[in-house]
Amino acid sequence: MLANAATIPSTPDLGKAEGRCRPDEAGSSFEVQVKGLKDRIGTLKLEVYPANNTDFLADDNVLVSAGKTFRRVEVPVPASGPVRLCVRVPGPGDYAVSLLHDRDGNRKFGWRIDGIGFAGNPRLGFSKPSAEKASASVGSGPKTISIVMNYRRGLGVAPLASK
């Protein structure tokens, strides 16, 4: 099954139907408050993965084909006001959560242009954080978490300096 998944072209809509929160829904979900945006251009792509290093940031087609958790919510960056996103998850548990500020619209992370953030707001180095550090727990209802965005600073990425 995984060999077949490797040949399936990735689709930007994978995980969106499952991840979309519905009005007044009370099931397990993350309500994400986005902090530290550099600007109001581009899109925000929120993704949920299993909370283990093997599956964290793995190919979405492989995860879905294997019956593993993968959820995606993608929205234009709001022109003003607080930025909040909601993503449904299959049920209570631990999940790794990533948030991409795709400023150039190419649908992938470019460390020189785009912003990135994770649940737990781990300090970022030259590689992705561990799934444990980028995870959050949720119960049987909505859970609010804050994700601080990181952008290029020198040779690395970090939150923008407070003004």
For the chain, the structural domain boundaries read 2-157
| Rounded distance between C-alpha atoms, residue 124 and residue 119, angstroms | 12
Residue 67 tokens read as 């019956």
The band of 127, judged by pLDDT with boundaries at 50, 70 and 90, is confident
What is the chain's percent helix, strand, coil content, to nearest 5? Answer: 10, 35, 55
Please report, as a single letter, which amino acid is at residue 122: P
Residues facing residue 99 across a β-bridge: 46, 117
Question: What tens digit of pLDDT does each residue of 28-52 get?
Answer: 999 999 999 999 999 999 999 999 9
**DSSP annotation string for 25-59:** --SSEEEEEEE--S-S-SEEEEEEEESSTTTTT--
Q: Check residue 162 and give its pLDDT.
A: 59
Using CA atoms, how far apart are residues 90 and 93, in angstroms rounded to an integer?
A: 9
Whole-number mean pLDDT of the chain?
89
